[in-house]
Every structure is written in structure tokens, then in C-alpha cells.
Amino acid sequence: MATSNDIKNGTVLKMDGHLWNVIEFQHVKPGKGGAFVRTKIRNITTGKLVDKTFNAGAKIETATVDRSDYEYLYMDGEDYIFMDTDTYDQIPVNPAVVGNAANFMLENQKVTIAMNEGTPLYLDMPPSVVLEITYTEPGLQGDRSSAGTKPATLETGHEIQVPLFVDQGTKVKVDTRTGDYLGRVND
């Protein structure tokens, strides 16, 4: 058992029979009354985001979460197959666990998988990845400003918005958390 004072970003809590991942936390000490911890937590299985407040020193139950480095290998039916880079064991991961990370994963992509008692909980992708644009409308001569954007399809099949001057075949850096275009990458 831990207390609410031990809450940090990434802590996994056991509440109401579910596992919750702490996204944000803030220790608050008002001038009057007792201190408390304000949190934003995400249900690991459903993805639901909830604001929850704990009194300072309140008992909470934390879950043991092991984070290991894995490499994405391939899709097998519905499941994504990952290989542990230390033991070379392969594990299937449900698409619900992979979530939006699938939009930015290519074969041999390195990710960190958080596991609880052998069950994959969620994936941690690198903050950005480099992907090639497989299709976008050609930019017009003179479209060199940063004023406009156009849709572009990445090699993973995901569509993002890019500036007008970006052409098909260009490698771009993409933010894996938001899906935003971060810039061109020179080979």
C-alpha cells in the first residue's frame, strides 16, 4: 500500500477493479484546510480519462508495472506481434492496447511495453518518428510559405497535415503523441 503522496506521472493505480494510469498530478496545499492531490487518470483498458482528487496521505493501491523494450515485428490476424529485445520472446498484443501507436509503427520499430502480471497494458512510443510520405497532391510553384497545409498519407497509411511545399517521397518527422508534422528530414 502506498499513499497519495507517492503519486507521480506514470504511476499505475488499482481502483474499483480497474487499472488507472496517472497522466497528470498536482499536490495542492490550500491556505485553509488539508492538503490534497489532484490527478488526471486514464483507465488502461477503456482509455476513459477521469479527474480524481485524493486527500493527502490517503491510502492507495498501486499496481506493479514492468516496462521492457520490444521491437514490432508484424501483424498476425488482429494482433500485433512484438519481440522482447533481451530474451527474443515474441508476444501478441491486442489492437486496443496498441491504440494510436499503430498509425506511426513500421516493422522493426522499437517501443516500450508496460506489462502487469504478463498482460500488456499500453505502449510508449518515442516522442517522434521519421516516416516517408507515400501520397500527397503536388505543391504549386510559389507555395513556399507556411500559411497553408494539405493532407498527406504516410507509409503506415495514416493521414496527416503537412505544409504545401512537402512533396511525395519526402521523409518527415511526426509527433507520435499528436500526429503533428514536425519538419522534413534530409537523408
Contact in structure between 70 and 126 (CB atoms under 8 Å): no
pLDDT at residue 19 greater than cutoff 60: yes
Q: What is the spatial distance between Cα 56 and Cα 87, in angstroms, rounded to a whole number? A: 41
Instruction: Return the CA Rg of the chain.
Output: 21
- CA–CA gap between residue 60 and residue 7 (Å, rounded): 9
Say what the pLDDT of residue 47 is: 77
Give 65 or 172, the one with higher predicted confidence.
172
Q: What is the pLDDT of residues 155-185, one digit of tens each?
A: 999 999 988 888 889 999 999 888 899 998 8
Confidence class for position 134, pLDDT limits 50, 70, 90: very high
What confidence score (pLDDT) does residue 74 get? Answer: 93
What is the residue-wise DSSP string for 123-176?
EE--SEEEEEEEEEPPPPTT--SSS-EEEEEETTS-EEEEETT--TT-EEEEET
Closest CA to 44 of 12, 67, 68: 12
pLDDT at 23: 87
State how far the alpha carbon of 127 is from the alpha carbons of 32, 34, 163, 182, in Å: 40, 37, 21, 11
Burial of 83 per CB tally in 10 Å (0-12, 13-18, 19+):
middle
Average pLDDT taken over every residue of the chain: 88
Separation CA 56–CA 34 (nearest Å): 7
What domains can be seen in the chain, in order of their start residue?
2-62 (2.30.30.30), 66-124 (2.40.50.140), 128-184 (2.40.50.140)
Q: What is the spatial order of strands in the sheet that 128-136 belongs to? A: 159-163, 149-154, 128-136, 171-175, 181-184
- Say how far apart CA 21 and CA 155 lie, in whole Å: 31
pTM as predicted: 0.73
